[in-house]
Amino acid sequence: MSERAEVPVYEGSCQCGAVRFTARTRLEAPFQCNCSRCRRLNAVMHSVPGDDFTLLSGGEALKIYRFNSHTIAHQFCTQCGIQPFAAGSDRAGNTVHVINVHCLDEPRYDKNAISHFNGADF
């Protein structure tokens, strides 16, 4: 079995279920951000490389919201208003999905592992 196959696959959705996705990841680096959007959402997030994220359904229900530097595509469901993930890119230009951990069907993670990202100063 390859190392990648041992990484768990989480399934998640928006509230109404129109948007569903999977993320192959270990939830080892959850974080919260204090920017003007994240502090309002109070979301716990986790970054997943583009190849390890799959949108299963609901692409047509998603609306993209951008602010500040416009580099991150915040994506929310136009039916229920929940933001299950955002998409951006790392320094090398690779796509990264930042998932809203609480949108996972079974969000098992260590709350003590949550780090704090100072997005307010970006």
Mind giving me the DSSP string for 35-58?
Answer: STTHHHHT--EEEEEGGGEEEEE-
Q: Which of 14, 72, 98, 101 binds Zn ion (CB under 5 A)?
A: 14
Q: Minimal distance in Å, beta carbon 73 to Zn ion?
A: 17
Q: Minimal distance in Å, beta carbon 87 to Zn ion?
A: 17
Q: Minimal distance in Å, beta carbon 14 to Zn ion?
A: 3
Q: What is the CA radius of gyration of the chain?
A: 14
Asked if 62 contacts 51 with a C-beta cutoff of 8 angstroms, the reply is no
Residue 51 CB contacts under 8 Å (≥ 6 apart), including other chains: none
For tokens 């098992």, name the residue: 108
Determine if 80 is a binding residue for Zn ion (CB under 5 A). yes
Part in contact with Zn ion (CB under 5 A); list of ranges 21-29, 69-77, 100-108, 113-121:
69-77
Q: Sign of the CA dihedral 51, 54, 59, 62?
A: negative
Q: Which of 72, 77, 86, 98 binds Zn ion (CB under 5 A)?
A: 77
Determine if 55 is a binding residue for Zn ion (CB under 5 A). no
> Site residues (CB under 5 A) for Zn ion?
14, 16, 18, 77, 79-80
